[in-house]
Amino acid sequence: MSVVLVFILVVIGFSLWWLLRQRIADRPWLEVGPDPLGGPGDTGVATPRVALGVFLAVVGALFALFASAYFMRMEFVDWRPMPIPRIVWLNTGLLVLASVLLHCAVIAARRGDRPTARLGLAAGAVATLGFLAGQLAAWRELEASGFLLSGNPSNSFFYLLTGLHGLHVLGGLAALAGVAPLAGAAFAESDAARLRQRLELCASYWHFLLLVWLGLLVLFTGWAAELVDICRQILS
Amino acid sequence: MVDVPQQSAPAVPPPAETADVHPPDAATWWGRWVFSQDAKYIALQYAGTAVGIGLVALVLSWLMRLQLGFPGTFDFITPEAYYQFVTMHGMIMVVYLLTALFLGGFGNYLIPLMVGARDMVFPFVNMLSYWVYLLAVLVLAASFFAPGGPTGAGWTLYPPQAILGGTPGGQQAGILLMLVSLILFIIGFTMGGLNYVVTVLQARTRGMTLMRMPLTVWGIFTATVMALLAFPALFVASVMMLFDRLLGTSFFMPALVEMGEQLSYGGGSPILFQHLFWFFGHPEVYIVALPAFGIVSDLISVHARKNIFGYRMMVWAIVVIGALSFVVWAHHMYVSGMNPYFGFFFATTTLIIAVPTAIKVYNWLLTLWRGDIHLTLPMLFALAFIVTFVNGGLTGLFLGNVVVDVPLSDTMFVVAHFHMVMGVAPVLVIYGAIYHWYPKITGRLMNEAMGQFHFWVTFVGAYAIFFPMHYVGLVGVPRRYFELGEVAFVTTPVDGLNAFITVAALVVGFAQMVFLFNFLWSLRHGRPAGGNPWRAASLEWQTPETPPGHGNWGHDLPVVYRWAYDYSVPGAPQDFIAQNDPWPGRPAERRA
């Protein structure tokens, strides 16, 4: 459970750091008067952004828990590591590309350059679809070479975690589809701020899912296990 | 009966209005009452559904007690049925009643009103949250009608037995429906939880600093943050068990021989499930307890006409309890064969949690000390909560220690402990809160005589049930036994006590029917309450309309000038000063 504990400690640490900046040492029983603090937007961050942050913390906890389960299950004798199909590396490249493209779209939107933003958005979506198709191809390849879901726990984890990650990516694509009309031809100037804001949210989500994916790759390739072994040797 | 006039002060800063919170106006009857996006209606929907399924759990507890009190008398209670009753009673009470009622019910109703917002920040997602919750409840209820009935795996759903043929529902639909329902519940809760957290962070009205929020909001807020981080563990455990059951994976399932036949599972770890389950399960105790702590603080302060003692400490204690509750989970697993050093670690963290909890209890007592205590119904329930929580907490200290826990593990002592601390205690708070806020929700007070009857029967009755149960556990009666019969390890006869407990449980159950009747009867016949019958200072009592209208605050949002606990302030025109009252009050006087 160490992975999720570390994750929770980071979240708790961040929360405490934030709380300490919210004047929690105030003595409210002595202080009367309208207070400038409090009220909408007093965190200085837009509400949808805060909501996305909280949501990503939940998703992070979910994957951290799966990683913990992965490590604990790995300790048992029946664990046989599974080879990673080559196409997974191509998929990783596509996801990185999608993240970069969406980031470019955000930069363009900030500049008010709508055609570039639209291009970045579309290309990012295509790269993401490519990633999902590639993941499906990886599943088929593994199935063809006999690595079935119930064959070994390492296979089970691979299918389960890639599937869950894919579902999160799909959810992101649905949100991106909601942004697309804003970047479309019937574009009013008043929508510029909304386009920028929602593109930023999408890009953050993509970066986060990329990070999760890289974390999962570290698990699947066994690098994480090697790292843990090295740490253990240093400690003992 | 005091209606608070809307006061205006010189040099009032403009009320904060936010574009983020614009409750959509429902045009149709369906949009207003059924697919409502107004947090107040969603709260009532949540509460109604939770109480509805909770009544099922109440009936299940009677059936269980009938079997334990009078074994062999009721033919329809088979061992399988008994396990199904136990399982469904536990799961419904913990997840579908307590969690949903505190966070979905009270959270939805009180957060926007108490922080001075018009609504939750994402009303549509909030509505979706309720409908997914309702779906989860329906899926759960469907398992009663599925072939083979609901699962009988115990509320902890431990593998491997949970998905094997020997357990009721293990190889039928029961366990599947349970897991799917939990997954749905978690998805629905996450939608609601996002709303509660972000509303507290972003939609507070002008002047409502974090340290001016009522403790109710602090409790619900912290509990929601914890739930958002803890429920994923249950999600992970449920998904993996679903894979084991449906797709033949071996996450949790070791190699097994069932009825002389080797199953296809192998190598899995049941302990892994226990870790995941209790990583959710222990914070869950505090997810239920923290809102109760917060609500009790407010009830005591209002009905003792005194400010809450040690407000800052109360807030810090809530936050510390929330953080610590993530590092105590394995004290539920002392007998699982884990490393003794782990046991030592978890016993230590468990005992440390008693420190902030004790701070809260002392602060409640010091708030009562020399207060102008009104023994109203909410106050009675709040006092009963303190006593019950201390009693349940004390036995928790026993069970938190490994050497004491090992012999007591899986006895009725544990059952009595957790029913006192997270069954009876939070339910007492729920009743207190309902009697307290009913006038705000309906405009009428609940009937006092019926309420007194309900309180005394429930309070005394709960002790009649659970005090003897501690003793039954101490003499060695194990939990989860359908029937004790003649066993060598229990030498003291407990049949009489068991029958007594059963009768007490039935009587307490009857008192709850009186409460339900009172609730419905008072809707029409209760005494009109006015806007602020308890003369309370917090913001939800200062709404221009009672019950609060759509958007809560009429034209302008309120501006907050003080904390929520200005009671009996020397020199003040009334014995309370509302949070949005600009009366200056000199700090030197206010210290008294």
Q: Is A24 exposed, middle or buried (0-12, 13-18, 19+ CB in 10 A)?
A: middle
Please give the interface size between A and B, counted as residue pairs whose CB atoms are below 8 Å apart: 186
Q: Which H or E run contains B261?
A: strand B261-262
B576: alpha, beta or left? (left if phi > 0; alpha if psi -120 to 50): beta
Q: Give yes or no for a contact between A101 and A127, defined as CB atoms under 8 angstroms apart.
A: yes
| pLDDT score at B377 | 97
Instruction: Yes or no: say if A152 and A79 are a contact pair by the CB < 8 Å rule.
Output: yes
Instruction: Tell me which chain B residues have a C-beta less than 8 angstroms from the C-beta of A26.
Output: 209, 211, 312
Q: Largest alpha-carbon pair distance within chain A?
A: 72
Measure the CA angle with vertex A147, ends A145 and A151; round to 5°.
145
Interface test with B, best of A9, A20, A37 (most B CBs within 10 A): A37
Per the rule left: phi > 0, alpha: psi between -120 and 50, beta: everything else, B453 is: alpha
Phi-psi region of B369 (alpha: psi -120 to 50; beta: other; left: phi over 0): beta
**Is this structure's pTM higher than 0.80?**
yes
Token code pair at residue A205: 């989500």
Check B240 against A160: CB less than 8 A apart. yes
- B42-249 CATH pick, 3.90.1150.10, 1.20.210.10, 2.10.10.90, 2.40.50.180: 1.20.210.10
| CA A70 centroid distance within chain | 19
- Decide if B562 and A32 are in contact by the 8 Å CB cutoff: yes
Separation of alpha carbons B324 and B219, rounded Å: 15
List the single best residue of A20, A150, A212 to mutate versus B (max B Cβ within 10 A). A150
Spatial CA neighbour of B538 closest among B241, B225, B311: B311
Chain A contact present for B10, CB below 8 A: no
> Token pair of B274, please?
């226990």
- Taking the CA of residue A155 and the nearest CA in chain B, the distance in Å comes to 9
Which residue type is seen at A35?
Answer: D
Q: Is A153 in Cβ contact with B249 (below 8 Å)?
A: yes
In the block, residue with structure tokens 């009666």: B477
A26 contacts B203? CB cut-off 8 A:
no
pLDDT on residue B477: 93
Give the B window 549-568 contacts with A, CB below 8 Å: 559-563, 565-566
User: What's the confidence (pLDDT) of residue B11?
Assistant: 45
Using the beta-carbon criterion (under 8 Å), do A150 and B201 form an inter-chain contact? no
Record: contact B194-A54, CB cut-off 8 A: yes
> Is the Cβ–Cβ distance between A132 and A88 less than 8 Å?
no
- Give the three-state DSSP class for B567: strand
Structure tokens at A199: 């593109």
Tell me the CA end-to-end span of chain B in Å, nearest whole number. Answer: 27
Which helix (H) or strand (E) segment is B441 a member of? helix B425-442
- What contacts 24+ positions apart, CB below 8 Å, involve B26-35? B26/B550, B35/B127
Nearest chain A Cα to B309, which residue?
A29
Cis peptide before B547 (omega within 30 of 0): yes
CB contact at 8 A, B447 and B518? yes
- Dig out the tokens for B152 from the structure: 């009988």
CB B194 to CB A160 under 8 A? no
Res B7: pLDDT = 42
Q: Which of B17, B267, B585 sits opposite A153 (nearest CB)?
A: B267
DSSP symbol at A78: T
> What's the confidence (pLDDT) of residue B5?
43
Q: A150 and B559 in contact by Cβ < 8 A?
A: no
| A76-97: average pLDDT | 93
Measure the CA angle with vertex B438, ends B437 and B441; round to 5°: 90
Task: Give the angle B75-B76-B79 at the CA atoms, nearest 5°.
Answer: 90
Residue B585 at interface with chain A, using a CB cutoff of 8 Å:
yes
DSSP state of B16: P
Tell me the residues of chain B between 68 and 127 that have a Cβ less than 8 Å away from chain A.
121-122
Tokens of B169: 């529902």
Q: Evaluate whether B584 touches B321 at the Cβ level (below 8 Å).
A: no
| Nearest chain B alpha carbon to A148 | B249
**Which residues 357-416 in chain B show a CB within 8 A of chain A?**
none
DSSP assignment of B145-164, as one string?
TSTT-S--S-TT--TTGGGS
Distances (CA, A) of A96 to A91, A175, A221: 9, 19, 18
pLDDT at residue A189 in the model? 66
Q: B136 is written with which tokens?
A: 């989860």
For A181-236, the pLDDT digits (tens) are: 877 766 566 678 888 889 999 999 999 999 999 999 999 988 877 887 887 788 77
CB count within 10 Å of CB A12 equals 18
Task: Give per-residue pLDDT as tens, B416-433.
Answer: 999 999 999 999 999 999
pLDDT band at A25 (very low <50, low <70, confident <90, very high): confident
Shortest distance, CA B561 to any CA of chain A (angstroms): 4
Nearest residue to B190 via CA among B226, B146, B218, B166: B226
* Nearest chain B CA: its distance from A32 CA (Å): 5
Q: Return the DSSP state at A45.
A: S
Helices and strands per DSSP (H, E), number in chain B: 17, 2
**Contact B209/A28, CB-based, under 8 Å?**
yes
Nearest CB to B232; choose among A24, A27, A62? A62
Burial B259-269 (b: 16+ CB within 10 A, else e): eeeebebebbb
Q: What is the DSSP letter of B399?
A: H
**CA B145 to each of CA B52, B78, B174, B338: distance values in angstroms, whole numbers, following the listed order:** 17, 17, 9, 39
Among B38, B77, B68, B304, smallest CA distance to B195 is for B38
Average pLDDT, consecutive stretches of 10 residues, N- to C-terminus, chain B (592 residues) = 42 51 66 86 96 96 95 92 96 96 96 94 94 97 94 93 92 95 97 95 88 95 96 96 94 90 89 95 94 97 95 95 92 86 90 94 96 96 96 92 90 95 96 97 95 97 96 93 85 90 96 96 94 94 91 87 91 90 64 45
* pLDDT reported for residue B51: 96
- CA B319, CA B317: separation in Å to the nearest integer? 5
B residues 248-277 near A, CB within 8 Å?
Answer: 248-251, 264, 266-269, 272, 275-276
Residue spans of alpha helices (H) in B116-214: 123-142, 173-202
Burial state string for B293-326 with b = 16 or more CB within 10 A and e = fewer than 16: bbbbbbbbbbbbbbbbbbbebbbbbbbbbbbbbb
What tokens appear for B258 in the block?
Answer: 């069932």
Residue contact A22–B122, C-beta within 8 A: no
B501 with B464: CB under 8 angstroms? yes
**CA B306/CA B558 separation, integer angstroms:** 24
All structural domains of chain B with their residue ranges? 42-249
Structure tokens, A231? 């740490």
Q: Residues 6 or more apart from A41 whose CB is under 8 A from it?
A: A47, B18, B20, B202
List CB contacts (< 8 A) between B243 and chain A. Answer: 149, 156, 160
Q: Return the residue of B nearest to A154 by Cα.
A: B251
Number of other residues whose CB lies within 10 A of the CB of residue B195: 29
d(CA B279, CA B231): 9
Residues B251/B268, Cβ–Cβ less than 8 Å: yes
Q: How far is CA B459 from the centre of its chain?
A: 18
Distance from CA of B306 to the nearest CA of A (A): 12
Q: Does B211 touch chain A (CB under 8 A)?
A: yes
Å between A150 CA and nearest CA of chain B: 4
Q: Quick one: pLDDT at residue B3?
A: 44
Q: Strand, helix or coil at B576?
A: strand
Chain B residue closest to A55 (CA)? B194
CA distance B336 to B346: 13
Residues 287-316 in B contacting A (C-alpha not used; CB under 8 Å): 307, 311-312, 315-316
> CA-to-CA distance for A40 and A164, rounded, in angstroms?
35
Is the Cβ pair B194, A22 closer than 8 Å?
Answer: no
Chain A contact for B183 (CB, 8 A cutoff): no
Q: Best mutation site among B244, B250, B367 for testing chain A: the one with the most A CBs within 10 Å?
A: B250
Nearest Cβ partner for A66 among B198, B212, B236: B236
Closest CA to B233 of A215, A72, A155, A58: A58
